[in-house]
Chain A
Amino acid sequence: MSTATSSSNILTGKKFPFCPGCGHGIAINNLAKVLEELGYRPEDISIVSDIGCSGLIDPLFNTHTIHGLHGRSPALGLGVAMGLQQKDRKKTIAFIGDGGATIGLQHILEDARRNVDMTLIVLNNLLYGMTGGQISGLSTQKFKEIVDFETDIPPFNIIQLAHASGARYAARVDNPRQMKEVLKKAIETEGFSIVEIESLCPSYGMKRMNELMEVVEPEEEYENPRAATQIRMSEKPSLLDRQPVLEQKFEPLVRTRRDFIIAGSAGGGVQSTGKQLATAGILAGMHATMKGEYPITVGTGFSVAEVIFDPEPIYYTGLEQPSVAVIVTDDGLEKIRKRIGAGTRVYLDEKLAQEAETLPTDDIIIKPFTRTVNRKAAALLATAYMLDREKVIPLEALREVLANHRLAKVFLETLDRLEKLD
């Protein structure tokens, strides 16, 4: 078969670009007949193709077409299908060869898992036709034995894989007489459908139908009774609508830049304390920055917050040697130890008291922050204590921030423990 069906309005009527005897044309003509019988107009169909012999098809279709990269038509097609879900009765049909299916295996499984309405047709001629007949991941076992190529490695069964991943409909067809019926079922499926068509390659593969039938995998057909996934866009509110506006309610107690490092461990409230301190600074008329630092494994190890206050706008946000460091755990101390200088004032938890003599500053205030509250609240208590002592902004500014938090009761109870430290 090397020409298009002349009466088709789905096809352009251009001469097929395939080698004489190639099986791809049979699949295309059958698909066109199915689409016409089901009443689809050319405007309703988007054909997605990629690279290889199967990728030569887009000029043949008198429909919308998009022609992309090798192995990616299942992913590109899913994007198209999700976009077209915003419109009624639009069908996405992607084509891929067996080489492309090997590259894009994960895309096919993802299509099956997501089960968005589209059809993927795998034109499996058992080999790479454009580059000289090399085998693919879908080359059948018997074919590989004929060409003596990786006979000890089995092929992927793309139909069973797609079925196991959730495809609404998955089928392999070898006999051209069954092809139209299988394609019709696939197109009528609401959800992801995949049809693998094993076919002739007169240049490098099986040249006659009876020979092909000797090497193909058996026909299979599976269904998963699940509804197609619906993709719908919905307007959502502005992120700025939920952004708190912080009106100045307090006066700053200093007129110069100040910086702080709060150092503790994951789960110790360091990041939230840093944000609360920065927010308190803004309530007191300061410009403020807050930088959090923690390992990629966010649930363990150190947690550090850097906060800068300045009555003038802050440009450069780097903080090398802090003027004040609040340290409540071993992890925190080790993370910032090298940044502590002779001019740094350190607020140190009593359980780290033995470390005081190892620090390059004599300006160290040791208090039982953790023992007074607990591990989770120590950073907040220590920061509040520091703020009360440093007199940069009023402690009341921090109290105001905490009072407006959903955990206000817990936070304010922590603040009430300040008197225990004196």
Chain B
Amino acid sequence: METPKNTLIDGSKIIIESLAQSGADAFVAYPITPSNWMYKYGKQRMPLFLAAPDEISTLQWMAGLSATGVMPVTSSAFPGIALMVESINMAYAMELPMVIVITQRLGPSTGSATTGAQGDLSLLNGIISGGYPVPVFSPSDFTDAWELSNKAMETALKYRTPVFLLTSKEMVMYQRSFDLNRLRPLKKFTYDRHIEGEFKPYKPGRNLTPPFVPLGDDEHLTRFTASTHDADANIRKNDPEALENSKRLARKLTENLDDYFIYTLDKSSEPARDLVVTWGITADAAREAVAHLRNQGHPVDLLVVKTLLPVHPKLYEIMDGYDNVYFAEENLTGQFKEILFGHRAPEHIRSINKIGNMIKPSEIEEAVTHQKSLVL
């Protein structure tokens, strides 16, 4: 057995280190709580660190860097993300890779900057105008933080898209003992410059994604545009080729979803009728609750979803096997549940929701034991 390499560490350090090892070249950010440690580590670790004067500049600088082949990442919380939205749409339309880490905190508005939350998933579900999906990963523990940061980098570069890593204050500012042996060596990713045949800036290549030619390239002249465009990047209003190109932006992410869909299904040793579904920071409480219920003779399965968006049909297939499904999320209405089932979920789909504090294991146990929803 390998000798443990225990340390006291926080999630911010693990995420930044993983992003750097996975191919990030630049950290661009405006500081905001609870992303403070991400910013500090970004400065210490990334080959290029840029202190932007605001969040709009942050995304614009990132887009400019990415267009030249310098892979950027940032970290922010809702108030900063809100300012970035138009620029994120721009990067999405231009097909510029980047990773955006969100450290969720209690809203609405300024809310409570040092209180954790899971309240920004609905925003990400509709963040691209027109119903286009964007990849959203959410780590449930430090090992996930390492693995999913790597996957986020791979997905962003492979599919030329902004990718979100949805964390929480509790993930990025907690310190805990951790065995560094659990961090496996990572593969480093880069822009895919493989061109087959004639080069056109938005002619799809592998995975429905155009090969990447950076600004300043000496072999090919390239064009990026945020307006509706054809394969040559000519701006076109609504001609069929341009609209087909716009649809491709969604198709490349949905048709390749199997490539980056990640979840864990922890099954009880006994057949279970009850399933707890959760994501992000609430997974810790869910793991404890499920273990406790099993010790009491109540078989319960646990589904921790790590690729939250786009929604994979596999999730419905899993949930169809249970009589009772409980969504545990630290927000007011159960945002992931609403994304999956709308505002009128079937009766056997229940919620455990809470704001202002982490959901406790005992609260999940109470809901499961009494077959009820809880809004706390």
Contact = CB atoms under 8 A, between A and B. Distances in A.
Nearest to A233: B47
B370 to A, nearest CB: 20
A39 interface: no
Between B48, B285, B287, the greatest number of chain A beta carbons within 10 A of the residue's beta carbon is seen for B48
B44 A239 contact: yes
B61 A86 contact: no
Interface stretch (A123-131, A204-212, A289-297, A388-396): A289-297
Given A59-B234, A239-B17, A243-B13, A66 B225 contact: yes
B177 A86 contact: no
A106 B55 CA distance: 12
B114 A81 contact: no
B16 A235 contact: no
Contacts of A66: 64, 67, 94, 215, 223-225
Interface in B1-48: 5-9, 13, 16-17, 20-21, 25-26, 33, 41, 44-48
- The binding surface of chain A is classed by DSSP as mixed
A76 B224 CA distance: 12
B53 A106 contact: yes
A367 interface: no
Contact of B217 (A64, A82, A234, A275): A64
Contact of B226 (A67, A231, A286): A67
Majority SS of interface residues in chain B? Answer: mixed
A109 to B, nearest CB: 9
Contacts of A90: 216
Contact of B60 (A68, A83, A240): A68
Contact of A296 (B26, B113, B233, B361): B113
A106 B285 contact: no
Highest count of chain A CB atoms <10 Å: which of B25, B69, B214: B214
A246 B8 contact: yes
Interface string B65-85: 111111000000000000000
Given A82-B61, A239-B17, A245 B235 contact: no
Contacts of A106: 53-54, 57
Contacts of A245: 5-7, 180
Contact of B68 (A72, A83, A291): A83
Given A245-B7, A290-B8, A43 B216 contact: yes
Contacts of A246: 6-8, 177
Contacts of A110: 53, 57
Contacts of B50: 82
Contacts of B254: none
Contacts of B20: 236, 238-239
Contacts of B5: 245
Contacts of A234: 47
A79 B68 CA distance: 9
Nearest to A91: B216
A31 interface: no
Contact of A64 (B70, B174, B176, B223): B223
Contact of B287 (A78, A80, A233, A315): A315
B53 A316 contact: no
Interface in B209-249: 214-218, 221-227, 233-235
Given A82-B50, A84-B68, A279 B8 contact: yes
Contact of A80 (B53, B68, B285): B68
A43 B218 CA distance: 5
Contact of B70 (A67, A233, A236, A278): A233
A75 interface: yes
A317 interface: yes
Contacts of B25: 233
B170 to A, nearest CB: 7
Contacts of B63: 68, 76, 79
Nearest to B68: A83
Contacts of B87: 69, 72
A238 B8 contact: no
Q: Interface size bucket, B side?
A: 35 or more
Of B33, B62, B63, chain A has the most CB atoms within 10 Å of the CB of B63
Interface string A230-252: 01111110111001111110000
Interface string B99-117: 0000000000000011000
A62 B220 CA distance: 11
A29 interface: no
A314 interface: yes
A278 B227 CA distance: 53
Given A59-B234, A66-B215, A235 B47 contact: yes
B64 A83 contact: yes
Nearest to A286: B177
Most chain B CB atoms below 10 A, which of A77, A78, A292: A78
A248 B67 CA distance: 49
B166 interface: no
B360 interface: yes
Given A245-B180, A289-B175, A75 B7 contact: no
B64 A81 contact: yes
Nearest to B284: A315
A240 to B, nearest CB: 6
Contacts of A286: 177
A318 interface: yes
Interface string A305-325: 000000000111110100000
Nearest to A49: B225
Given A82-B50, A83-B67, A292-B173, A236 B217 contact: no
Given A69-B86, A79-B62, A239 B13 contact: yes
Contacts of A42: 221
B183 interface: yes
A287 interface: yes
A87 B216 contact: yes
A83 to B, nearest CB: 3
Given A239-B44, A296-B33, A75 B61 contact: yes
Interface of A: 42-44, 46, 48, 58-59, 62-69, 72, 75-84, 86-87, 90, 106-107, 110, 231-236, 238-240, 243-248, 275, 278-279, 281-282, 286-296, 314-318, 320
Interface of B: 5-9, 13, 16-17, 20-21, 25-26, 33, 41, 44-48, 50, 53-54, 56-57, 60-70, 86-87, 90, 94, 113-114, 170, 173-177, 180, 183, 214-218, 221-227, 233-235, 284-285, 287-288, 357-358, 360-361
30 contacts: A42-B221, A43-B221, A64-B215, A69-B60, A75-B64, A76-B61, A76-B63, A79-B64, A82-B48, A82-B65, A106-B57, A231-B48, A234-B47, A236-B20, A236-B44, A236-B45, A239-B20, A239-B41, A240-B13, A243-B9, A245-B6, A245-B180, A279-B8, A282-B8, A282-B177, A288-B8, A288-B176, A289-B174, A295-B114, A315-B284
Closest 6 CB pairs of A and B: A79-B64, A83-B68, A75-B60, A79-B61, A233-B47, A80-B64
Given A240-B183, A290-B176, 12 more contacts: A43-B216, A58-B223, A67-B224, A68-B63, A76-B64, A79-B60, A79-B64, A80-B67, A83-B67, A240-B13, A245-B7, A316-B288
